[in-house]
Amino acid sequence: MSRARLNIFLEHEHAKLLQELATMKRMSKSSIVAASLASYLSPDGADRREVLTARRLGQLSHQFERLERDQAILIETVALFVRHQLAVTVPIPEAHQDAARAQGRARFEQFVEQLARHLQRGHSLVRDVFTEIAPEPTGEPGRSNGARQPEDLAS
């Protein structure tokens, strides 16, 4: 197979990376550039890139759906909690305000400690809520019949 000699110009950073790759792979820079060019110009190269891009977009779409679901659950949770608190909490008389603030600070510290323990154990309230609102149908243990699970959405 005959070869043509070409003089090309590369950005300094690209030339440096090419040199590092050639050294690491113990290949000539020419052979790396030739293989890269062959892959790029290959008729199925574009198809492979398109498949890989489509696969990655699908993964990103699933991750986005999971984030969107989690955010909706969190917004509804906070809204319901606020509505409940405003409905059941009686105003505190002025004379008891300082004591109520101190008790609130102590209760908040307990809440933060409990949250930290919960997170350290790897628990997810969103996953727990999702499991409660969309329980797995009977069938194969640990899997629902076609319904996406939170861990499926993470991939």
pLDDT along the chain (155 residues), means of 10: 86 95 94 88 78 92 93 91 93 94 96 89 79 70 43 40
In sequence order, what are the residues at sequence separation of 6 or more whose Cβ sits closer than 8 angstroms to the Cβ of residue 39? Answer: 45
What are the C-alpha distances in Å from 110 to residues 47, 114, 127, 144? 56, 6, 23, 37
Output 58-64 pairs: Cβ under 8 A, ≥24 positions apart: 59/155, 62/152, 62/153, 62/154, 62/155, 63/153, 63/154
Quick check: 22 and 28 in contact, CB under 8 A?
yes
According to the model, what pLDDT value does residue 119 have?
Answer: 84
> Exposed/middle/buried for 62, CB within 10 Å: 0-12, 13-18, 19+?
middle
Taking the complete model, does pTM exceed 0.85, yes or no?
no
The pLDDT score that the predictor gives to residue 41 is: 81
| Of the candidates 120, 95, 89, the residue with the CA atom closest to the CA atom of residue 107 | 89
